Structure 1
Amino acid sequence: MARLVQLSQAELDSIRRLYESVMSYACHGLFFREGMSLADEMLKSIGPADPLEAGRTMIVERGWAEDVLFTERGARVRGSIEVSPGSEGETCHRLRGILSKLLETQRKQRVRLAEVECVSTGGRECVFQEESS
């Protein structure tokens, strides 16, 4: 069984701000890819289960969010660990990568989500919608 580590919300926010200070907003793509890699590892343990339901359970159990609702166009998330109230832009880049990979696995085609609403910028919840091709 894989070992797990815990990071606090403040620690994740501090790491994000450090990367942004060095790489500017280019690090957001890196965080997205990190999320996709995390989802790849999560998916290895689910077997034939529905990737969305199993992924939702893992996201909640591992503390990435309090709840996830997959929608026809993407996902709605309550209680994302990546939220940083008062930020100038959306901050849930790793979660965006995780959700994109889960949808991609379920649909068996490339999926990229954009965060169109974020609690960090004053939204009620974090909303992810599929990017237009």
Structure 2
Amino acid sequence: MKAEGTCKDCGRINEVLSRVGDRWSMLIIISLGTYNVLRFNELKRILGISQRMLSLTLRELERDGMVNRTYHPTIPPKVEYALTPLGESIRAPLRQIGDWALDNLPAIDAARARYDAQKELERESA
């Protein structure tokens, strides 16, 4: 990035961060990193995600080179998903973010409760 605040690649960086930062992409990458290879329905069951959202997210992760899709022409057809080396490379930072979220849930819940209580007081006094 240039000092004067212009960034010719900021739009592209935003694209990538939007992909790896959305909750379903993060959870898919963490799950594939944990189990190595998963079928579509296994991912769906583990994550509790809708079929449509899982399809869209997997397609985008595959397009970005983070997930590899392997089709096996069996009856019924078998499709497996695994992380690529690029997907593996983002695993550690995503795991740290996930761990941070888990570690800080009590503090976040407390902050939300304080905020909500304050807003309720403001509404009542208005």
TM superposition score normalised by structure 1: 0.25
Higher CA-based Rg: 2
Higher helix share: 2
TM-score, length-scaled by structure 2: 0.26
